[in-house]
Structure 1
Amino acid sequence: MTDENDNCSTGIQATYQDEVTPGACEGSFVITRTWSLVDNCNNAAEDQVQIITVSDNTAPTFTAPASIEIFTDADCNYDASIAITGDVTDENDNCSTGIQATYQDEVTPGACEGSFVITRTWSLVDNCNNAAADQVQTITVTDNTAPTFTAPASIEIFTDADCNYDASIAITGDVTDENDNCSTGIQATYQDEVTPGACEGSFVITRTWSLVDNCNNAAQDQVQTITVTDNTAPTFTAPASIEIFTDADCNYDASIAMTGDVTDENDNCSTGIQATYQDEVTPGACEGSFVITRTWSLVDNCNNAAQDQVQTITVTDNTAPTFTAPASIEIFTAADCGYDISVGSTGDVTDENDNCSTGIQATYQDEVTPGACEGSFVITRTWSLVDNCNNTAADQVQIITVSDNTAPTFTAPVSIEIFTDADCNYDISVGSTGDVTDENDNCSTGIQATYVDSEPTPGTCEGSFVITRTWSLVDNCNNAAEDQVQTITITDNTAPELVTELNRNISVTCDNIPEVPQLNFQDNCSAEVTVAFNESSTNSGNASNYVITRNWTVTDGCNNEATITQSINVTVSDVTANDAALCITEDFDLDLFTLLNGVNDTSGTWTVVEGNATINGSLFNPTTLLDGNGSYTDSQLGVYTFRYESSQNSTCPTEVEVSITINDECVVLPCGAEDVIISKAVTPNGDNINDFFGVTGVESCGFVIELQIFNRWGAKIYENFNYQNDWYGTSSKSSFGNSNTVPTGTYYYIINLKNSGLKPFAGPIYVGTK
Structure 2
Amino acid sequence: MRSIWLTFGLFCLVILTFGQANAVLEVKAISPEATGDAITLAAADSFHVDIWMKVGDGDPDLTGGSMAFGFYSPDGSISNISHLTVSTADGTLSSTKSVEMLNGFYPSLFFASIPLENSWDGSLPDTMTYAFAGLSGMTSSHPDQAYIRFNFRAGNDGIFCVEDVHAGGDIDWLFDRPYTFTPQCWTIGDYSPDFPPEITCPADAEVECGGPYDPSVTGTATATDDNDTPVITFSDSSPVPGSCPTIMTITRTWTATDSKDQSSSCDQLITIVDNTAPVFTTCPGDVTVECDTDIDPSITGQAFASDECDDTPEVTYTDSQVDDVITRTWTATDACDNSATCIQTITIDDTTPPSLTCPADIEVDNETGTCGATVNFTIDPASDNCDASVDIVADPASGTVFGLGTTLVTVTATDDAGNQAACTFNVTVNDVEAPTITFCPEDIILNCGDSNHPDNTGYATATDLCDDALDIIWSDSEPIDNVITRTWTATDDYGNTATCEQLITLAVDDEPPVFVEACPADVAVECDQIPEAATMTATDNCGDVTVTYTEVRTDGNCDYSYTLVRTWTAEDNSGN
Interval containing the TM-score (normalised by the shorter chain):
0.3 to 0.5
Higher relative contact order (CA 8 A, sep 6+): 2
Structure with the larger strand share: 2
Normalising by structure 1, what TM-score?
0.29
Normalising by structure 2, what TM-score?
0.37
